[in-house]
């Protein structure tokens, strides 16, 4: 089942998401990147509610990879919509949205969508490094449009195990190595205790130098 984690540390945010693309009980793909790079210093992990979605009823644009169309469509649809709009803002204004502003805009999109006929069922973790005040920021957003700034966050069934671990081991002043060690604890616990645990994760970090992928 889909799981994503994120935690802040001294000058960085780590965002991790599993890489499985599943439809019902069938695993379609195990190298799906579910963390979008929205800008030079902004990451967004997206995951959708399992089960059927409205994606196969309304699919305005077909994803290029045919396998992707089996992946719960509206999560990707929404992520690409966000990605393009954040990019458009940067092109128009010559500077990017700050993480807090980006989170507000994304939240509003979800809140508007919630009261429409076909709402997006997408849960997000927005990790960013604010170049204006030099602070790493993390936003937890659910499909209802609830947004809250948090020191660490998780979505999916993994959150039931990871959040209590993070309560115990999270340190806002931890180095990147210590942060990644805490993330490994979470991943190991989920692998150990969750029946339908994902086996691979993609991990990305954002800090003052921008976004990059790291190997665990």
Residues at the interface with other proteins (CB under 8 A): 107, 110-111, 114-115, 140, 142, 144-150, 153, 159-160, 163
Q: How many CB atoms lie within 10 A of CB 56?
A: 12
Nearer to other proteins, 70 or 157 (CB): 157
Nearer to other proteins, 111 or 176 (CB): 111
Q: Rounded to the nearest whole angstrom, what is the least distance from the CB of residue 161 to other proteins in the complex?
A: 11
**Would residue 54 be called left, alpha or beta, if left means φ above 0 and alpha means ψ between -120 and 50 degrees?**
alpha
Nearer to other proteins, 28 or 163 (CB): 163
Q: Rounded to the nearest whole angstrom, what is the least distance from the CB of residue 23 to other proteins in the complex?
A: 25
Q: Which residues contact residue 143 at a Cβ distance below 8 angstroms, ignoring those fewer than 6 apart?
A: 49, 110, 114, 119, 120, 121, 122, 123
Q: Give the three-class secondary structure for 193.
A: helix
Task: Tell the burial category of 210 from Cβ atoms under 10 Å away from its Cβ (0-12, 13-18, 19+).
Answer: middle
Q: Phi and psi dihedrals of 126, rounded to 5?
A: -105, 115
Q: What is the DSSP string of 120-139?
A: --EEEEEEEEETTTTEEEEE
Nearer to other proteins, 42 or 125 (CB): 125
Q: Rounded to the nearest whole angstrom, what is the least distance from the CB of residue 137 to other proteins in the complex?
A: 13
Handedness of CA 214, 68, 152, 51 (dihedral sign): negative
Nearer to other proteins, 83 or 142 (CB): 142
Q: Rounded to the nearest whole angstrom, what is the least distance from the CB of residue 17 to other proteins in the complex?
A: 18
Q: Rounded to the nearest whole angstrom, what is the least distance from the CB of residue 143 to other proteins in the complex?
A: 9
């Amino acid at each position: 089942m889909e799981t994503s984690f994120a935690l802040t540390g001294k000058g960085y945010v780590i965002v991790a998401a599993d890489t499985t693309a599943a439809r019902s009980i069938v695993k379609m793909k195990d190298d799906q990147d579910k963390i979008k790079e929205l800008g030079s210093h902004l990451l967004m992990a997206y995951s959708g509610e399992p089960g059927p979605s409205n994606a196969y009823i309304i699919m305005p644009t077909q994803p290029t990879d045919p396998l992707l169309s089996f992946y719960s469509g509206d999560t990707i649809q929404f992520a690409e919509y966000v990605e393009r709009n954040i990019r458009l803002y940067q092109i128009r204004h010559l500077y990017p949205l700050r993480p807090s502003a980006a989170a507000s805009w994304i939240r509003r999109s979800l809140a508007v969508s919630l009261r429409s006929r076909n709402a997006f069922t997408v849960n997000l973790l927005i990790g960013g490094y604010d170049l204006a005040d030099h602070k790493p920021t993390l936003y937890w957003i659910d499909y209802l449009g609830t947004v809250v700034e948090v020191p660490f966050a998780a979505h999916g069934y993994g959150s039931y195990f990871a959040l209590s671990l993070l309560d115990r081991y999270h340190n806002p002043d931890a180095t990147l190595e210590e942060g990644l060690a805490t993330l490994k604890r979470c991943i190991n616990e989920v692998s150990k205790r969750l029946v339908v645990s994902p086996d691979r994760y993609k991990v990305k970090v954002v800090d003052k130098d921008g976004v990059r992928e790291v190997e665990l």
